[in-house]
Structure 1
Amino acid sequence: MPPEADEPRVESPKRYAVGFPGIGHALQYAYEEMGPARGVRALGRMNQADGFDCPSCAWPDPSPDHRKTAEFCENGAKAVAWEATRKRVDAEFFAAHSIEQLRAMDDHELEWQGRLSEPMYLASDATHYAPIDWEDALQLLGERLRGLSDPNRAVFYTSGRASNEAAFAYQLLARRLGTNNLPDCSNMCHESSGAALSQTIGIGKGMVTLEDIENAAELIIIAGQNPGTNHPRMLTALEKAKKRGARIIAVNPLPEAGFTRFRNPQTPRGLVGPGTEIADRLLPIRVNGDLALFNGLNRVLLEREEAVPGGVFDHEFLDRYCDGLEAAKNHWRSLDWALIERLSGLTREQIEQTADEVISARSVIVCWAMGLTQHPNSVPTIREIVNFLLLRGNIGRPGAGPAPIRGHSNVQGDRTMGIWEKMPDSFLDALRDEFGFEPPREHGMDTVDSIRAMRDGKVDVFFALGGNFASATPDTAVTQAALAKCGLTAHVATKLNRSHVCHGREALLLPCLGRTERDVQAGGEQFVTVEDSMSMVHASRGRLLPPSANVRSEVAIVTGLAETMFGDDLGWRAMRDDYAVIRGHIERVVPGFHAYEDRVRQPGGFVLPRPPHDSRDFKTETGKARLTVNEPTATEVPDGCLLLQSVRSHDQFNTTVYGYDDRYRGIHGGRRVVFVNPFDLRSRGLADGEKVDLISVWKDGERRADGFRVVSYPTTKGCAAAYFPEVNVLVPLDSVAETSNTPASKSVAVRLERSAQQ
């Protein structure tokens, strides 16, 4: 049995990240799940040029000649061990565990059971999953899809871990059926980044390279991101930047161990010495105060420029490449400092001091993650960051630019491959010309709209390529009830998760190969490709044997289903037999993939075009980068409430929970904790260690999550934090970011009520 969560034990937070404990935890987990020999084989090939790409985060790899033997972090090792475990979930397991018994397990216990090893089917009104052979499973799913009264009554969801080849085949299948209902995990994380960057610089990706961070930036601002837990290998890049003299500013409501000190396990100083102090300055911002902060910074830069004309702004860059400056300047002049201080939670002096550092730096990078993207005003916030960068010409030169740090290993690649409900006509035209059918043009549904449609009985088939939809999405009770209204839910997956027990009237589990495993098709052994956070495309080759002979690759499942539905009309069989055929199609459909096969076979792969970075070519409506007016706003919090943000534990990746510890924050043996400032506890008559219920307050009513242990923690006053997916139940489905429709999971107004059971 897995280790069980009990009453969480709380210790002092760690003052450093990684070091010997990080090595120990990674190796212990790998040994327990994979065994020593299998573990050595897997970890030795992870993130190597001739190996497989880490299945967790999308942090870029160094050039092949600069990679370490152990080119992975603690959480990367856990992700591989989680996937390459020796435990199996087969027909015997499902015969012994009913759906109700499985629902009683928590998320960690479900996934801990092991790898799915054969396709399973849950009939209408059945109490147990039962085995089904592959041909019958694909025939059943194909019949349900072909039998729809309208193709738009199907939803094709995608996780960010799918390869480029699988993602391209998947979107092709959906559009061949006749729908653009292609929601994905981007809708819930960096959709706000893509919307804001597309509006302002003409491309929905970041402009920064690993080389920019390590060797060129003089100032790096990290806002709404916790690299020590979510992207640990980023700490190595930040350490390199620090050693050559770069300054780093951390903007975060929570003090994080990774910002305090990094003990690099690859260096003697990291193992036996004090390590490296990462953040030179910590701005303890109010949750969702980032828009006000960057408004304030831009006002200060304007004031300094007007005091000494030509001393702050890059006028040559602004005049040649930008528009909208005068309206933005008028807006900044009108800002009230009292409002900026109240919304940001920072003082004018703190913002002025930060501006001093900005003016002293010739090149500035701003990194961010979901701490910025999951608020109602996320898109204006990121537009204001772009304003900040444009004023001093910090886009399109070495060591400068916007850097949205993506979470899942190929989430950016999936979007490049066409996994988006609003792909432009240029992509659809190219798809038509390549395959000879007319793709649908009407925009499809994103994640939030798909849940609404399922809730309202407008979806008959929900098909998921990876992911854990029921746990990752907002408003848990609403989402799970919505899934239950579907006629069929089908999941391509490696392991059992919550979504598989929150199912439609019928359900299918289709087990797939993991990133770590050999993929042999009729055309021989295959490899796949992925795109990292910084637009590098490279190959990934699994090395381990599959968990069973009855598991198929994602590409084989998707193309096999398509052939069942449409025959071999688009050459599905050839795509399945040899993935180079898919890459040939991608080369002719997706810009930037010329000579795809040759370039991706080179060690390290190749970089996709990023016009603003490469040539200061801005693909906006005006042909110039756009400065915009973004009024300072923040989430309104009713009297007596706190502003709750959802966060990850150090012992998880996305919805995958590896264990019940968060040692960086001092939490052991439990996850139902809420971090609250000591002042806020005293003002509510609560004591550290008491049990409380969390009640979210929104215009449509209240939602409740019971039994959380209060942890007195130095978060910003008026703010609180707790782990997802446990608190997703508190996030209203209709509380979303403007423009991007991303769930506002970091902007939840909650009140604390003392629990009846202490």
Structure 2
Amino acid sequence: MTDKPAEGVKPYHGPAGGWGALRAVAQAVREQMGASANSRALMQMNQPEGFDCPGCAWPDPKHTSSFEFCENGAKAVSWEATTKRVGPDFFAQHSVSDLWAWSDYDLEDAGRLTHPMRYDAQTDHFVPVSWDEAFARIGAAMQALADPNEAEFYTSGRASNEAAFLYQLYAREFGTNNFPDCSNMCHEATSVGLPESIGVGKGTVLLEDFDHADAVFCIGHNPGTNHPRMLGTLREVSRRGKPIVVINPLRERGLERFQNPQSPVEMVTLQDTQIASAYHLVKVGGDVALLKGIMKALLEADGKDLAAGGKGLLDRDFIAAHTTGFEALRADLAAADWGVLEARSGLDRPAMESIAEVYARSERVIICYGMGVTQHRHGTGAVQQIANLLMLRGNFGREGAGICPLRGHSNVQGDRTVGITELPGEAFLARLDAAFGITSPRAHGHNAVEAVAAMRDGKAKAFIGLGGNLAVAMSDPQACFVAFRKLHLNVQIVTKLNRTCLLTGQESIILPCLGRTERDIQASGPQSVTVEDSMSMVHASVGRLEPASELLLSEPAIVAGLAKASLPATKVDWDALVADYDRIRDKIEAVFPDFYDYNARVRVPGGFRLRVGASNREWDTPDGKAHFLVYQGTDEDNGRDDTPLTLTTIRSHDQYNTTIYGLNDRYRGITGRRNVVFANADDLAALGLAQGDRVDVVAGGRVLADMTLVAHDIARGSVAAYYPEANCLVGLEDYDAKSGTPAYKSIPVKLRPAEAAEAAA
């Protein structure tokens, strides 16, 4: 069929970064901050005496440049430091029913919240409320619960270590371990899978390791959109002449070519740097099959080398001294059929052998991966196969080598480190109890999927959200929206209005908080908070801007207010902790020994690194060994990736998680819209479809309606649509059983002519 004109669809031929990025930054600053003094905030981002970027968790270099931010980081700051305001007059003009019809972009674009607000069901409006009354109402509702486990305590990864620590303390003194967290939806497969493999659920590399790597593998991530500062690091690897092997279902511009906005030569001459030395389009859901194919090819080449009198390609000394389970893995790989591996991965045997060859000739290898690996029904198993591949050649515990999970929100890893977990260990709880004189509950709590199910089923009646937009971020919005509207209490601690705020229950209250960029003044004076990046570096963040409203409270102060209202007999001196955040850090140190000398070390520019045993070949597993772990079969999605088409959700270049900064996706050639589905042109032709056709995307009984097809360089059998709009195709029950991570990245779908288009015709 012939392609049809599609509004807002035009190929993009430029590199990532470059003048396009600078123009986008200028536009974001102009639209949100205008000529205000807030625009100077960009120069303070990721600087030793400034604030940490509220976007991604890519680490800061030890010697920061004159400016150390990317396009999406600038958008995040301009979005937070906007001059637009949402106060009582805004809510007086707009009912909740009216606001529900607004797009997610329009809701957040309205501006910063300025006052605590509560929902008035009689008028269908949010009305202003004092902080004292807000806390009293919330405290009364919390005390009215029949069981502490009827409460859910959600955390966004943008919360600081200090806020997150107080939050988990509040919930545990209240009596529950119900901690649905944003990590449940992204890298929980890492947090669950890697401890079984190497004893720690974190990455093992530092930023400096990229200076010494002989090869970097990038699997299932898109730095051009989701962590653009990483492109500067990859650029330097490429300029050293080292291979960068990309394995991804879609061809992404940020992994192909990059023009560094900080390089005057590249900007003036319009030159750019090639990132990928090899780019392999793996089929959506084919990561396990591909990883098995690479390992199978490596073992076969190893055998040939030994037979020819060589030393072999494996690090046998490392395997013997540090690991267990190798023979079981060898047997599993030997039994794997090449035809099956090719069919499931979408790559032929020579391609997998070429990847294995690059790996074998590189002494030091870093493997980076993102949610393209983790967000599957067996994402935990996929993560463990990456660890297997690294262990075969001893690529742990030495300079220039290791595993690098790419976290999303700037402190999603830190929140976990300081106690936000529904599965707490006894040693941690014992130390927490000793530090505060409380008795924490021992029963495991709810993750995000379980929390929504409990709310839907009437078993959970109160929800407190420390940031985020859970009802939109979560899979199955049909179930989420119903669940939230059943609540007796919905509390949202946020900087901006979002859709979860509008899901009103019997008592719904919005509590506006300070942003990362704003000054936080407490009784002892100005305060700093701390965050942990993807590489376990902990550093301070100090806001410098005037708060958007004099009524805003910090997240630690809000958590303390909630705790005092909910726990009349609390044993914690909340006021003292909030008065001086050094006291919170002292308590974190008492509960988590790895934070020794916390206040002293975090005052050193750049902060300090937490212990990661596997970085030193210390395996914090029960037997003190790293484990090769077998994945049975090759199908990470229980047969689902054998369907004719499998859909993965993706982020546009104009968003960060559920926050939509605009309606453009520059690198994919999309302008002014989000209702598109990317597909392989050959797949479309086989289905009798073409670019520009309007289709419904169908997954069982679920429908993403009236989407426009866009031909894209994507693996055969794979299609992609934007998150969170495509979440409606993922059932609440559709998740990785080991980690609880929703399967956003592998949805079996069919395409049919759009019913709306047929009706119009």
The answer as to 2:77 corresponding to 1:74 is: no
> Within 2, Cα distance between the matches of 1:524 and 1:708?
53
SS of the counterpart of 1:102? helix
Paired residues of 1:539 and 1:605 also in contact (CA < 8 A): yes
Shift of 1:304: 1.9
Paired residues of 2:150 and 2:460 also in contact (CA < 8 A): yes
1:569 to 547, 571, 581: 571
Shift of 1:125: 5.1
Paired residues of 2:33 and 2:39 also in contact (CA < 8 A): no
> What is the TM-score with the length of structure 2 in the denominator?
0.96
> Within 2, Cα distance between the matches of 1:640 and 1:291?
17
> Within 1, Cα distance between the matches of 2:448 and 2:317?
42
SS of the counterpart of 1:628? coil
Equivalent position amino acid for 1:290 in 2 = D
Equivalent position amino acid for 1:258 in 2 = G
The answer as to 2:688 corresponding to 1:685 is: yes
Paired residues of 1:208 and 1:403 also in contact (CA < 8 A): yes
> Within 1, Cα distance between the matches of 2:180 and 2:583?
25
Equivalent position amino acid for 2:504 in 1 = H
SS of the counterpart of 2:595? coil
Q: 1:611 is matched with which residue?
A: 613
> Within 2, Cα distance between the matches of 1:364 and 1:338?
28
Which stretch shows the higher mean deviation, 568-577 or 448-457? 568-577
Paired residues of 1:165 and 1:528 also in contact (CA < 8 A): yes
> Within 1, Cα distance between the matches of 2:619 and 2:643?
46
Which stretch shows the higher mean deviation, 624-633 or 647-656? 624-633
Change (3 A) 1:8 1:409: farther
> Within 2, Cα distance between the matches of 1:125 and 1:440?
39
Change (3 A) 1:414 1:405: same
Shift of 1:287: 0.5
> Within 2, Cα distance between the matches of 1:436 and 1:253?
52
Paired residues of 2:323 and 2:625 also in contact (CA < 8 A): yes
Q: 1:200 is matched with which residue?
A: 197
> Within 2, Cα distance between the matches of 1:639 and 1:241?
36
SS of the counterpart of 1:667? coil
Spell out, residue by residue over 1:61-101, the C-alpha distance to the aligned partner (whole angstroms, 9 max, x if none).
001xx211221000000000000100110111101101111
Spell out, residue by residue over 1:401-455, the C-alpha distance to the aligned partner (whole angstroms, 9 max, x if none).
1110000010000000101100211110110110111100000000000011011
The answer as to 2:601 corresponding to 1:599 is: yes
Shift of 1:468: 0.4
Shift of 1:37: 4.0
> Within 2, Cα distance between the matches of 1:685 and 1:305?
46
Spell out, residue by residue over 1:125-146, the C-alpha distance to the aligned partner (whole angstroms, 9 max, x if none).
5411111100010111111112
The answer as to 2:666 corresponding to 1:663 is: yes
Q: 1:736 is matched with which residue?
A: 735
The answer as to 2:691 corresponding to 1:694 is: no
The answer as to 2:247 corresponding to 1:251 is: yes
> Within 2, Cα distance between the matches of 1:522 and 1:39?
25
Q: Give the alignment of 1:283-302 within 5 angstroms.
A: 283-302=280-299
The answer as to 2:493 corresponding to 1:492 is: yes
Spell out, residue by residue over 1:171-199, the C-alpha distance to the aligned partner (whole angstroms, 9 max, x if none).
00000000000110000000001111011
> What is the TM-score with the length of structure 1 in the denominator?
0.97
Paired residues of 2:435 and 2:587 also in contact (CA < 8 A): yes
Shift of 1:683: 1.8
Paired residues of 2:379 and 2:636 also in contact (CA < 8 A): no
> Within 1, Cα distance between the matches of 2:472 and 2:106?
14
The answer as to 2:374 corresponding to 1:378 is: no
1:275 to 272, 276, 281: 272
2:98 to 97, 101, 104: 101
Which stretch shows the higher mean deviation, 564-573 or 261-270? 564-573
SS of the counterpart of 2:492? strand
Which stretch shows the higher mean deviation, 240-249 or 589-598? 240-249
Q: 1:407 is matched with which residue?
A: 408
Equivalent position amino acid for 2:431 in 1 = A
Equivalent position amino acid for 1:28 in 2 = Q
The answer as to 2:647 corresponding to 1:644 is: yes
Equivalent position amino acid for 1:236 in 2 = G
Paired residues of 2:259 and 2:273 also in contact (CA < 8 A): yes
Equivalent position amino acid for 1:183 in 2 = P
Shift of 1:308: 2.5
Shift of 1:346: 0.3
Paired residues of 1:7 and 1:669 also in contact (CA < 8 A): no
SS of the counterpart of 2:721? strand
Q: 2:50 is matched with which residue?
A: 51
Identity of aligned residues (%): 47
Q: 1:352 is matched with which residue?
A: 353
Superposition RMSD in Å: 1.3
> Within 2, Cα distance between the matches of 1:495 and 1:604?
30
Q: 2:28 is matched with which residue?
A: 29
Shift of 1:40: 3.4
Paired residues of 2:298 and 2:353 also in contact (CA < 8 A): no
Equivalent position amino acid for 1:577 in 2 = A
Paired residues of 1:193 and 1:204 also in contact (CA < 8 A): yes
Q: 1:3 is matched with which residue?
A: none
> Within 2, Cα distance between the matches of 1:346 and 1:202?
32
> Within 2, Cα distance between the matches of 1:641 and 1:400?
38
Q: 1:460 is matched with which residue?
A: 461
Q: Give the alignment of 1:226-625 within 5 angstroms.
A: 226-271=222-267, 272-309=269-306, 310-567=311-568, 569-613=571-615, 615-625=616-626
> Within 1, Cα distance between the matches of 2:642 and 2:166?
51
Shift of 1:641: 4.3
Paired residues of 1:165 and 1:555 also in contact (CA < 8 A): yes
> Within 2, Cα distance between the matches of 1:24 and 1:194?
38
Q: Matched residue pairs, number?
A: 745
1:220 to 213, 216, 220: 216
> Within 1, Cα distance between the matches of 2:97 and 2:195?
45
Q: 1:703 is matched with which residue?
A: 702
